[in-house]
Structures are given as C-alpha cells and as structure tokens.
Amino acid sequence: MKTIKYIKSLFILMALVFMGCQENDYSFGDIITPSNIQITAEIVGADTSNPNGDGSGVVNFTATADNAVSYKYVFNGVETVSLSGKNTISFSTIGLNTYTVTVVASGTAGVSSSKTIQVEVLSTYSPPEELISKLYGFDPANPNAVSSRTWKIQSAKPGHFGLGPVAGSLPTEWYGAGPGEKADVGMYDDRFIFSSDGTYQHVTNGDVFGRDPHIVNDLGANTSGEVDGADILNFAYADYTGSFTLTAPGGLETISLSDKAFIGYYTGGNHSYEIFDRGTPNEMILRTTDAASDFDWWFILVLE
C-alpha cells in the first residue's frame, strides 16, 4: 500500500513539475506587415499661381496604410512618431529645394514597411533681426557670433499658462493660471534655451508637466507622476536637446521644434508655437494647438 501511495505521489509531483516547466503561450494574433502606404503633402499656401507654397516652407503631411498602428516620419536624420499619421515639417533652407521624407508604418509585433516621398518647397522667409535678437541674442554687428538665451515660464503674471478655443484671438480665454498657481507640477523650474546655431535645449530638472494621454503616448509610460484629471504632474523626463526653426506661415511668426520637443506643458500636436505677441520687453506670448485639436494652449515666457 505504501508503495502504491508513493508511486501516486511521485506521479502527481512529476505532473506538476512538467506543467510548471511549460512555457506560457502568448499570441499577438495575425502578424501582418503594413501595406498600401499613402502619403499626401499639403504645402502651406500652395495654389495654381504658387505651386511650391507661400514661402513659409511649411508642409502638412498625412500618411495612411493598411494594418498600421503607428507611423514614424524620418527627415534629415530626425525621427518623429505619429500615431495618427499626421505630421508638420518646416523646411527653412532659403530658395526652392527638393526634400526627401520617409514614412515608416508599423504594425503588430513591430513589423513595418516604409515609403519615401519627395516634395519641392519654396522658402523665402528670413526672420527679422528684432525677433532673433530677442530670441537668442543675435548681434547684427557680429552676425556670425554664436549666441543663446534662456527662457522660462513667467509664473509671476496672471495668465502665464492657460487654454482657449482653437484659433481664438484672446489669450487664455477659457482658463488662465494665477500667479504661482502651478508651483510644484514640474513646469516652473524648466528652462528653454534657444541658440543661434538652431539648437534647442530643454532643461527639465528631472520632471515635466503634460496632458494625458498625449504625454504618455509620445514620451512613454508614467512612472512617477501624479495624475490630476487630464494632467500629469511631475512626469519623469530627463533634459534633452533638439532643434528649432523660425517660419511665418500665413504671416504668423512661428517657432517649430523638432521631434517631441516642447515648451512648458506637453500637448503633442505639431510642436509649433505661434509667437502671438513679442512687444513686451524680455517677454513673449506663445500658443500651440494640442494633438486632439481640442484647445489652444497659451504660455508667457520671460528671459531669465
């Protein structure tokens, strides 16, 4: 009897060991490589008389593909991820130039395919001296000198951060933060450094402030930030360096940042900031539209 019980126990133990050693069976479902990539390029200001645009150099791209879950734009060594397939690129080389842009469509399990498009774009915009002198310290007496200036959120002023309707004409029409209202959310200690060589540096001091889900979609999972409604406070994010260009689509002076670079509060979108007003000494009022086109977000920057 003892032998029978021993054999039964041994059989059960071996079965448990066998089951424990089996690998989990994970499935991605059907893995299908994206196909039929279509890319359209809308050159801002293009018409029958001006087929290469209004001279701002701004082009709005839209990509679609079968079985794609996300897209990546590659231009001049810079990669920009777009879940929607939409992206805006500002081409700033003066004159009529042909540019090559590649779109990588990604499917399930990381499979991907790509397509390349060429666009011929006219850029005639040269930013005025008063703008570049203010933004990064350009000195017309020494035009080849390397210079930079550091900006921050003007937290002492009412309406230094807020929102309003898309294309609205009144800053922070729907909400404007009061003086010091956004302390300790990861925004006031940020520094935004513009340099004459086109470099943009964002000193985050380890964390930033942003809009959910855009910040998570673009910058990665929230590992330590506090979720407060549609905001994420103190989202962990290291200092980084990117680039910027100055354009004026439709006559509106605009700072366009590379890739996922941003100012003040992460909203996604095209990472372009219209200079709404720069008449106050040492200050600028900027606005940008978020990725969902729900709001325009407003910022007052001040020189440090």
Distances (CA, A) of 187 to 7, 180, 190: 68, 11, 5
Report whether pLDDT(24) > 80.
Answer: no
Report whether pLDDT(20) > 80.
Answer: no
Entry pTM? 0.79
CA–CA distance, 209 with 226 (Å, rounded to integer): 10
Report whether pLDDT(7) > 70.
Answer: no
Residue 241: pLDDT band (50, 70, 90) is very high
Per-residue pLDDT reduced to its tens digit, 253-280: 999 998 899 999 999 998 999 999 999 9
Per DSSP (E only), the strands in the chain are: 35-43, 58-66, 70-75, 78-82, 86-90, 95-106, 112-123, 148-153, 161-164, 175-176, 191-195, 199-203, 207-211, 226-228, 231-236, 240-247, 254-257, 272-277, 283-289, 296-303
* 49 contact partners, CB below 8 Å, separation of at least 6: none
* 216 contact partners, CB below 8 Å, separation of at least 6: 222, 232
Report whether pLDDT(286) > 50.
Answer: yes
Residue with tokens 């407060």: 228
Q: Structural domains in the chain?
A: 35-123 (2.60.40.10), 129-303 (no CATH)
The residue that leads in pLDDT, 16 or 93, is 93
Contact 291, 272 (CB under 8 A): no
Residue 289 confidence (pLDDT): 96
Contact 63, 38 (CB under 8 A): yes
* 128 contact partners, CB below 8 Å, separation of at least 6: none
Distances (CA, A) of 18 to 8, 11, 101, 166: 15, 11, 53, 61
Residue 227: pLDDT band (50, 70, 90) is very high
Per-residue pLDDT reduced to its tens digit, 130-150: 999 999 999 999 999 999 999
Residue 77: pLDDT band (50, 70, 90) is confident
Q: Which two three-digit tokens encode residue 276?
A: 């709404």
Residue 176 confidence (pLDDT): 98
Residue 79 confidence (pLDDT): 85
Per-residue pLDDT reduced to its tens digit, 162-195: 999 999 999 999 999 999 999 999 999 999 999 9
CA angle 168, 170, 172 (to 5 degrees): 95
Report whether pLDDT(153) > 90.
Answer: yes
Per-residue pLDDT reduced to its tens digit, 188-224: 999 999 999 999 999 999 999 999 999 999 999 999 9
The residue that leads in pLDDT, 155 or 56, is 155
Residue 27 confidence (pLDDT): 53
Report whether pLDDT(284) > 90.
Answer: yes
Residue 18 confidence (pLDDT): 47
Residue 31 confidence (pLDDT): 86
Residue 202 confidence (pLDDT): 98
Among 268, 262, 285, 273, which residue's Cα sits nearest to residue 190?
Answer: 262
Q: Which two three-digit tokens encode residue 295?
A: 């709001």
Report whether pLDDT(28) > 80.
Answer: no
Q: Kindly give the pairing relationship between strand 231-236 and strand 148-153.
A: unpaired
Residue 2 confidence (pLDDT): 46
- Give the mean pLDDT of 213-237: 96
Burial letters for 220-247: b for 16+ Cβ neighbours within 10 Å, e otherwise?
eebeebeeeeebbbbbbbeeeebbbbbb
Residue 176: alpha-carbon gap to chain centroid: 23
Per-residue pLDDT reduced to its tens digit, 84-132: 899 889 898 899 999 999 999 999 888 999 999 999 999 998 999 999 9
Per-residue pLDDT reduced to its tens digit, 41-52: 999 999 999 999
Residue type, 89: I
